[in-house]
Amino acid sequence: MEAELQAILAQVERDLPEIQTPAAFEQYRATISGPNGSFTAVTKTIGKLPPAERPTAGKLINQYKTRLQELYDAKFAQLEELELQKQIGPAVDVTLPSPDPQPGSTHLITQVREEICRVMRKIGFTVADGPEIETEYYCFDALNTPADHPARDAQDTYYMDPEARIGNVSRKGTERYLLRTHTSSVQIRTMLSEKPPLRILCPGRCFRRDTADATHSANFHQIEALYVDRGVTVTDLKADLDYLFKSLLGNEAQIRFRPHYFGYTEPSFEVDFKASHLGKVGSDWIEIMGCGMVDPTVLEEVGLDPNEWSGYAFGLGIERIAMTLYGVDDIRYLYQNDLRLLRQFA
Ligand code: DAH
């Protein structure tokens, strides 16, 4: 019996190198180890041996079975590797330069954000940060926006499950968390953690429960500015916004203030701009942002004496500016990452 087993093993050792595909390998293996295979036939003869010889024969068969299996495994691994190579092609030389001729570029929203920050940095503003998951205190209460204000409606933004507490940022401990509806919350965080004079900018993401259409998105970006010092007046606000818009749009750009209401500023204004010299924005006034003088109630809330300190604040929508300036007529284009749009601003 051993001679037969030995012969089969030798045969397999000779045949395997010739086999090129997994299918051919399976076919070949069946002729040896399949139900009608030559090796299987030898193993069946064990039943015809005298009982005393069977244990030894069984051991021998197992030894050959193991050696055969090793040969199969090695061959199979080699074939798998070959198949993989066929699929991925020749080995990649990672030391070669990238074949991609298109370098990446910043998104239009990033470009507009950076440009506004760059302009404002020149007049002393630095960038401050705040969390996107906010408490009602920072987002509303401290900004003089009481509980019955429509902005507090649960339908207006995304409120967290009250059980899901995130860190220990809540002042009162029992507050609800929400996705911030504006970056104005950073005004409060900054005034509580730093002493004036303050000049901060806060670019960031905001959320509202809006149904997406050409001008609405549940997720958008704002830049907030806050300037608190002794003797800050509306003149500073107007002069700085004039400077910002002229820097962004050219010296011909004009702005105008219209009275408005925001809980956290008094007086409050909406700002329109006109830049007729830029053909693409037309010759009409375009409403662009909100601003005002920090309400004394807000200053008191953060422990500042309104008789000593005053300030201005403004908040603008980055998408709004980007769309107006670059003629993007649907806000959704800004989030679809379609290269045809992105490349126009690369
Ligand atoms: N937070 C306002 C909004 O989301 C924008 C705004 C208005 C910000 C007036 C301000 C401000 O800082 O003073 O519509």
Distance CA 200, CA 294 (A): 14
Encode pLDDT of 162-195 as tens digits.
665 555 554 445 678 899 999 999 999 999 999 9
pLDDT single digits (tens) 291-321: 999 999 999 999 999 999 999 999 999 999 9
Residue 177 in contact with ligand 1 by CB distance below 6 A: no
Q: According to the model, what pLDDT value does residue 170 have?
A: 47
Q: Across the chain, what does the average pLDDT equal?
A: 91
Least confident of 137-146, 165-174, 323-332: 165-174
Cα distance between residue 103 and residue 303, in whole Å = 50
User: Ligand 1 centre from 265 Cα, in Å?
Assistant: 9
* pLDDT at residue 86 in the model: 83
Contact 224, 314 (CB under 8 A): yes
C-beta of 263 in contact with ligand 1 (< 6 A)? no
- Tell me which of 198, 264, 270, 294 to substitute to probe ligand 1's pocket, judged by most ligand atoms within 8 Å of the beta carbon: 264
| Segment holding 117, helix H or strand E | helix 108-121
* CA atoms of 301 and 311, how far apart (whole Å): 14
Expressed in angstroms and rounded, the spacing between residue 257 Cα and the centre of ligand 1 is 14
pLDDT of res. 174: 64
Residue 278 main-chain phi, psi, to 5 deg: -95, 100
Confidence of residue 324 (pLDDT cuts 50, 70, 90): confident
CATH level 2 (architecture), domain 108-345: 2-Layer Sandwich (3.30)
Which range (96-105, 234-243, 297-306) has the least confidence? 96-105
Q: Is the CB of 294 under 6 A from ligand 1?
A: no
Task: Please tell me the least confidently modeled range out of 117-126, 171-180, 242-251.
Answer: 171-180
Which of 62-76, 87-101, 116-130 comes out lowest in average pLDDT? 87-101
Confidence of residue 283 (pLDDT cuts 50, 70, 90): confident
Residue 133 backbone dihedrals phi, psi, to 5 degrees? -95, 115
Residue 92 has pLDDT above 90, yes or no: no
How far, in Å, are 44, 189, 300 from residue 308 at the CA level? 103, 20, 11
CA of 266 to the centre of ligand 1 (A): 12
For position 164, what pLDDT does the model report?
58
- Maximum average pLDDT range among 28-32, 62-66, 135-139, 311-315: 311-315
Binding site membership of 314 for ligand 1 (Cβ less than 6 Å): yes
Can you give the pTM of this predicted structure? Answer: 0.70
Give the pLDDT mean for 75-80: 92
Of 207, 214, 240, residue with least CA distance to 320: 214
pLDDT level of residue 325 (50, 70, 90 thresholds): confident
State residue 153's pLDDT score: 79
- Residue with tokens 């606000």, as numbered in its chain: 237
Task: Average the pLDDT over each of 16-20, 47-51, 175-179 and give the range with the smallest value.
Answer: 175-179
- Whether the Cβ atoms of residue 294 and residue 233 lie closer than 8 Å to each other: no
